[in-house]
Amino acid sequence: MSRKNELYYSNDVLLYPLLILLSIVVVFWIESRFNFNFNHLGIYPRKFEGLRGILFSPFIHGDTKHLFNNSIPLIVLSSALFYFYRSIRWKVLIYGLLLTGLLTWFIGRPSNHIGASGVIYMLTAFLMFRGILSKQYQLTALSFGVIFLYGSFIWYIFPTDPKISWEGHLSGFLVGVVFAFIFNKQSLPNKKYAWQKEDYDPSNDPFMKNFDEDGNFIETKTDVEDVIQTTTNVNYILKKKKSKRENDL
């Protein structure tokens, strides 16, 4: 099993997510500092110039609240992706971003769709469903952790607020679910116990020797040669008790 399929911490687990977030913050700072408005670079559905938003929209946010609401989930989920799915992380992130944007371009309302929430929903769905489908306890635990933290996100894939791009949320969620089935190769090595190996011989197992053919516990005699006996010599010195007269002298 290659090193890419093992769980271990490296600096890039946090470095790349932080760089992505930093780029988003820099874009927002440029807008605020120089009074620019990049909303026109968002995804505008079913217009040719709106396709540029597939690349640009995740880096554009409407206000500070919008940026803050996306920042923490983006760091948490992308770091989890980079740590637990090291071998496929860039495929999931880049292809997920492109397909989420493209699907939003097809189904979205005629408006500029901006923000990284589509990518966040893609990561949420992928981590939830891939972990459960993997049947590996590490990834399943991650799935339940994501459900606990961001399970409520599912309500926003429906048109609950006209100011929210629910189409982008729905697109990301659907792409994440599809990716969970597409990237279905074994993500982590399965550790086998001694009795799970092909060359396992129960007759040579010290533990199995305590049971008979019917599975009943039997007592085993200890080999006398394996017992190390130690002898301790105790020496007593007898001293004569002095008389009272000798003590007075």
Structure tokens at 176: 């994440």
Q: What pTM was computed for the model?
A: 0.76
Give the residue ranges of DSSP H helices in the chain: 12-33, 53-56, 64-84, 89-107, 117-134, 137-150, 166-182, 244-248
Let me know the angle formed at the C-alpha of 81 by 193 and 107, rounded to the nearest 5 degrees.
Answer: 130
Query: 123 lies in a domain?
Result: yes
Q: Are 145 and 77 in contact (CB under 8 A)?
A: no
How many independent structural domains does the chain possess?
A: 1
Distance CA 116, CA 38 (A): 14
Structural domain including 57 reads 3-182
Query: 64 lies in a domain?
Result: yes
Per-residue model confidence as pLDDT tens digits over 166-195? 999 999 999 999 999 999 876 666 665 555
Asked if residue 164 has pLDDT above 50, the reply is yes
Q: CATH number, domain at 21? A: 1.20.1540.10
Give residue 224's pLDDT band: very low, low, confident or very high (50, 70, 90).
Answer: very low
Query: 63 lies in a domain?
Result: yes
Query: 191 lies in a domain?
Result: no
Query: 67 lies in a domain?
Result: yes
Distance CA 18, CA 89 (A): 15
Side chain identity at 69, as an amino acid letter? Answer: N
Query: 218 lies in a domain?
Result: no
Query: 153 lies in a domain?
Result: yes
Query: 201 lies in a domain?
Result: no
